[in-house]
Amino acid sequence: MPNIEDFRAFYNEELLPLLDELEHMRRSILIKNIKTFFFFLGVGITAWIILSIWIKLTHRYYENYILVYYAALVIPMIAYIYKRKKPSSFFWRYNHEIIGGIVRFIEPSLYYKPESYIPFSSYRHSSLFDDNVDAYTGSDYIYGRVGHTNIWFSQIHAEKEEESYSTDDDGNTTIDTYWVTIFKGIFFVADFNKDFDCTVILRPRRRNIIELRRDDEIILDYPEFMKYFSVYTDDIVEARYVLSTSLMKRIVELRKNAKRDIYISFVPPNIYVAIPCNPLFYATYCRSIVDYKKMELYFYYLSFTIGIVEELGLNRRIWGKKALSSTRNR
């Protein structure tokens, strides 16, 4: 995997000319839209002035023409929204050429689809989170193969709607609905390098005053690992086959590098890794996009995620399960 020095060279040779070209495009869109905005604003103000003069000269009442005043401002603004230059082609190029370019630089065999995301069926299959979901969206879908391992990941945001009841002094009950985030962050899937037939779920360990173990919870023989994770499984022997000592060590390193709680599950035939975070890939055409620090952040984020394959040793195929010869159907 390329390092930061390689990325710096890539940025200067490949990304910077593209960013400059897109920056030029962004500025021309922005200037055009500003001009269009002020034109329609001018039209609205002019209409307002003309209306005011007419009302004064004809000795009419301003109050009878409130709606006309509103229309004089609102209609030009609506016209501006329709007439302004849409920046969709700018965003399309930014996503596919800049972010897609960084993805292909890190791993040429990967593909990037900005509008797609991990399907809900994969989220549910992982058994990591509540699947009683009312809204499920995402973006920045990346998929392909790293060495012998097929991977696919994206940003996802799963939410559920909840209700709260409140009663006022008159005894009237009001129902307020609000959204609760179940999970928001990177959702990573890879085909695991062993054949197994059980479910193993790793959740961040919560320190409670009273430690109550669930029936399906097991304690493994690696104390540092158990400091970070609670382990749940339906097969105590196969869980230990999946979670070898070397894999547990690697998972601990991954957790330390992520610097936050992570969720992992093993559900045949895949491994699922969920890392809570906010969406990172965004551009606004109101600000300059020529920003090395931002590109570097994209590079670190993508390197870290794609690097999960090496970090967990998923390319090591010395057991019965060999590398797949074709990409799986997702």
Helix (H) or strand (E) holding 240: helix 236-242
Residue whose CB is less far from another protein, 84 or 316: 316
Instruction: Answer yes or no whether residue 194 interacts with another protein by CB under 8 A.
Output: yes
Instruction: Answer yes or no whether residue 255 interacts with another protein by CB under 8 A.
Output: no
Indicate if the alpha-carbon torsion angle 217, 191, 279, 1 is positive or negative: positive
Cβ at position 240, least distance to another protein in Å = 4
Alpha carbon 287 to chain centroid, angstroms: 21
Instruction: Answer yes or no whether residue 197 interacts with another protein by CB under 8 A.
Output: no
Instruction: Answer yes or no whether residue 223 interacts with another protein by CB under 8 A.
Output: no
Residue 290 and residue 94 in contact, taking contact as beta carbons nearer than 8 Å: no
Instruction: Answer yes or no whether residue 236 interacts with another protein by CB under 8 A.
Output: yes
Number of residues lying near another protein (CB under 8 A)? 19
Instruction: Answer yes or no whether residue 168 interacts with another protein by CB under 8 A.
Output: no
Q: Which amino acid is at 39?
A: F
Q: Radius of gyration over alpha carbons of the chain, in Å?
A: 27
Residue whose CB is less far from another protein, 113 or 240: 240
x/- binding map, residues 27-46, to another protein, per CB under 8 A?
--------------------
Residue whose CB is less far from another protein, 16 or 220: 220
SS (H, E, C) 79-111: HHHHHCCCCHHHHHHHHHHHHHHHHHHHCCCEE
Q: Select the residue interacting with another protein from 167, 278, 318, 329 (CB under 8 A).
A: 318
Instruction: Answer yes or no whether residue 218 interacts with another protein by CB under 8 A.
Output: yes
Give the C-alpha separation, 159 to 178, whole Å. Answer: 10
Residue whose CB is less far from another protein, 4 or 219: 219
Instruction: Answer yes or no whether residue 234 interacts with another protein by CB under 8 A.
Output: no
Q: How many CB atoms lie within 10 A of CB 281?
A: 19
